[in-house]
Amino acid sequence: MKVLGIESSCDETGVAVYDTALAGASALRAHQVYSQIALHAEYGGVVPELASRDHVRKLLPLLRQTLDEAGLKVGDLDGVAYTAGPGLVGALLVGASVARALAWGLDIPAIGVHHMEGHLLAPLMENDPPQPPFVALLVSGGHTQLVAVEAIGRYRLLGETLDDAAGEAFDKTAKMMGLPYPGGPQLAALAEAGTPGRFRFARPMTDRPGLDFSFSGLKTQVLLAWRGSDQTETTRHDIARGFEDAVVDTLAIKCERALDAAESDILVVAGGVGANRRLRARLQTMATRRGGRVCFPRPELCTDNGAMIAFAGALRLQAGQQGDAAVHVTPRWDMASLPPLVAAAEPGVGIRDS
Ligand code: KG4
Ligand code: ZN
């Protein structure tokens, strides 16, 4: 089954084709992402109306480009998957309208995908995918969640942030230190040259039981440290390092607790912050020490993309699920309310047809 995936929930337009007849990482026949970062940078954050208009401009050209890359014609598609939420309502509607119109015109099924389920399943697109049950850490610009994945489609929230998401904390801290939007990856790059330990910030909420997070106090600590410092380039690097170490440490401590609570040794990490090198290394060390496994998507599939939507949609379409022809999006959407994947071709991931 060749499934087209469309992602347009925020400031990235993503299009991909996932072919369930192919095995492992080669099943991703093509994927393209167009980032609107330059458009929003001068405003210091995403402007929803500008995001919607840019999706309108970029989606169809990107779709043609992706089909070309896959060596396919639009008539070769067997299904369409699109992000139906959570996200910006106008931006979501662009992807949903194109997806629904295409599916209607081609008389093929279409399904609205939960953006965070897309992130969560992205590591399963790689070779040697983990099988549920496992624990997932979802760390993006809007979410920080620990989820017990009992099966694909059966998600139990173990903990989440009470205020800022990890990516949001990276972005806000970067902004305070004078870096342009979205500063997360740039702050991480600054931290590379920083001296560990010169600035030590709190590991919020690790001194008490529980799996929730809180990152908003951390940015205030960084602000105070930055204001009280000599504000040299070296200090900028050292503060960035101190901040990154605090976030990474906090996430790792809670991940280990979540694995203990769920009696699991498999951790799956997804979402934009999952691209962070130090987080990847720290979680790898922890998993090795436990004799377990940590699975990440390749860094380009950590941030928003159409591949994860094509993949998550393909699993559900293969299980016989699809939506009706209405263009419907859900800007706020609880992942625990998703239906389980009732029928699968194989146990676990269960995606291979003929
Ligand atoms: O998953 P994503 O692309 O979009 C959302 O669904 O939110 O995540 C974007 C977030 C941004 O906050 C960005 O700063 C952060 O992920 N991010 C990083 C890195 N790459 C992206 N944060 C820290 N280190 C990185 N290397
Ligand atoms: Zn995302």
Atom of ligand 1 at shortest range from CA of 279: 24
Residue 348's pLDDT band, with cuts at 50, 70 and 90, is: very low
Cβ of 273 closer than 6 Å to ligand 1, yes or no, is yes
What tens digit of pLDDT does each residue of 289-326 get? 999 999 999 999 999 999 999 999 999 999 999 999 99
Cβ of 130 closer than 6 Å to ligand 1, yes or no, is no
Reported as type and span, the H/E element at residue 34 is strand 28-35
Tokens linked to 83: 């992000």
Among 179, 278, 280, 303, residue to substitute to test ligand 1 (most atoms within 8 Å of Cβ): 303
Atom of ligand 1 at shortest range from CA of 165: 12
Single pTM value for the model: 0.94
Cα-to-centroid distance, 74 and ligand 2 (Å): 26
287 pLDDT exceeds 50? yes
Residue 342's pLDDT band, with cuts at 50, 70 and 90, is: confident
Task: Starting from the CA of residue 273, give the closest ligand.
Answer: 1
In angstroms, the Cα distances linking 199 to 175, 196, 202, 230 are: 18, 7, 10, 13
Residue 76's pLDDT band, with cuts at 50, 70 and 90, is: very high
Atom of ligand 1 at shortest range from CA of 87: 6
Q: What pLDDT does residue 181 have?
A: 85
Mean pLDDT on 250-265: 98
Cβ of 274 closer than 6 Å to ligand 1, yes or no, is no
What tens digit of pLDDT does each residue of 24-48 get? 889 999 999 999 999 999 998 999 9
Among 114, 164, 273, 335, residue to substitute to test ligand 1 (most atoms within 8 Å of Cβ): 273
354 pLDDT exceeds 70? no
Residue 347's pLDDT band, with cuts at 50, 70 and 90, is: very low
Cβ of 141 closer than 6 Å to ligand 1, yes or no, is yes
Domain boundaries, the chain: 2-122+301-337, 131-296
Cβ of 87 closer than 6 Å to ligand 1, yes or no, is no
User: Are β-strands 154-160 and 144-151 bridged in parallel, bridged antiparallel, or unpaired?
Assistant: antiparallel
Q: Alpha-carbon distance 283 to 294, whole Å?
A: 7
What tens digit of pLDDT does each residue of 132-189 get? 999 999 999 999 999 999 999 999 999 999 999 999 999 999 999 999 888 999 999 9
Cα-to-centroid distance, 140 and ligand 2 (Å): 6
Residue 51's pLDDT band, with cuts at 50, 70 and 90, is: very high
Contact 295, 123 (CB under 8 A): yes
Contact 15, 62 (CB under 8 A): yes
Cβ of 304 closer than 6 Å to ligand 1, yes or no, is yes
353 pLDDT exceeds 50? no
Pick the residue whose CA is nearest to atom 3 on ligand 1. 303
Atom of ligand 1 at shortest range from CA of 304: 3
Mean pLDDT on 249-270: 98
Q: Alpha-carbon distance 117 to 138, whole Å?
A: 9
Q: What pLDDT does residue 340 have?
A: 93
Pick the residue whose CA is nearest to atom 10 on ligand 1. 141
352 pLDDT exceeds 80? no
Pick the residue whose CA is nearest to atom 16 on ligand 1. 272
Q: What pLDDT does residue 23 have?
A: 86
Atom of ligand 1 at shortest range from CA of 277: 26
Q: What pLDDT does residue 350 have?
A: 42
Cβ of 85 closer than 6 Å to ligand 1, yes or no, is no
Cβ of 140 closer than 6 Å to ligand 1, yes or no, is yes
Mean pLDDT on 201-205: 97
Residue 243's pLDDT band, with cuts at 50, 70 and 90, is: very high
Task: Starting from the CA of residue 270, give the closest ligand.
Answer: 1
Cβ of 139 closer than 6 Å to ligand 1, yes or no, is no
Q: What pLDDT does residue 182 have?
A: 86
332 pLDDT exceeds 50? yes
Cα-to-centroid distance, 95 and ligand 2 (Å): 15
Cα-to-centroid distance, 304 and ligand 2 (Å): 5
Mean pLDDT on 97-109: 98
Q: What pLDDT does residue 97 have?
A: 98
Cβ of 86 closer than 6 Å to ligand 1, yes or no, is no
Instruction: Please state, for a pLDDT cut of 90, what percent of the chain lies above it.
Output: 94
Q: Alpha-carbon distance 221 to 177, whole Å?
A: 12
The amino acid occupying position 267 is L
- Sort residue 85 into left (φ over 0), alpha (ψ -120 to 50) or beta: left
CATH assignment, 2-122+301-337: 3.30.420.40
Q: How many CB atoms lie within 10 A of CB 352?
A: 14
The answer to whether 2-122+301-337 and 131-296 have equal CATH topology is yes
| The CATH number fitting domain 131-296, selected from 3.30.420.40, 3.40.50.620, 3.40.30.10, 3.30.2020.10 | 3.30.420.40
